[in-house]
């Protein structure tokens, strides 16, 4: 005999649209790695570019896209701009990948 789960309320369409947009942005290996590298710390564009083995210009494009969708935040310290994760949901997606991405 099957046990039925209690009905959950429907997710509002606006929430689904925002989540789908965030998923589209994160659906790139370099962007997922950026979130992983920024987990619990802030790094500059140069530090991220070195760790990703990408040119700084390409890294900046990824960062700007992620920032425009509210996934990252930027902080200036003198001439250097540091990035950090501003939306904890991005980290939860990585946790899901770690648990189920085998």
pTM for the predicted model, two decimal places? 0.86
Q: Tokens 């200036």 — which residue? A: 76
CATH of 17-100, one of 2.60.120.380, 1.25.10.10, 1.10.10.10, 3.40.980.20: 1.10.10.10
Q: Are 27 and 65 in contact (CB under 8 A)?
A: no
How far lies 44's CA from each of 15, 23, 38, 47, in Å? 31, 24, 10, 5
- pLDDT, one tens digit per residue, over 39-49 is 999 999 999 99
Q: Are 85 and 75 in contact (CB under 8 A)?
A: no
pLDDT of residue 66: 97
Angle at alpha carbon of residue 62, lines to 97 and 98, rounded to 5°: 10
- For the chain, give the mean pLDDT: 93
- pLDDT, one tens digit per residue, over 61-83 is 999 999 999 999 999 999 999 99
């Amino acid at each position: 005999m099957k046990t039925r789960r209690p009905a959950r309320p429907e997710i509002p369409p606006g929430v689904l649209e925002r989540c789908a947009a965030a998923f589209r942005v994160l659906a790139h290996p370099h962007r997922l790695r950026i979130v992983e590298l920024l987990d619990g710390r802030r790094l500059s564009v140069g530090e991220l570019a070195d760790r990703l083995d990408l040119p700084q210009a390409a890294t900046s494009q990824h960062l700007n896209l992620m920032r425009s969708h509210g996934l990252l935040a930027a902080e200036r310290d003198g001439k250097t701009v540091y990035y950090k994760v501003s939306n904890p949901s991005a980290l939860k997606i990585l946790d899901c990948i770690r648990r189920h991405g085998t």
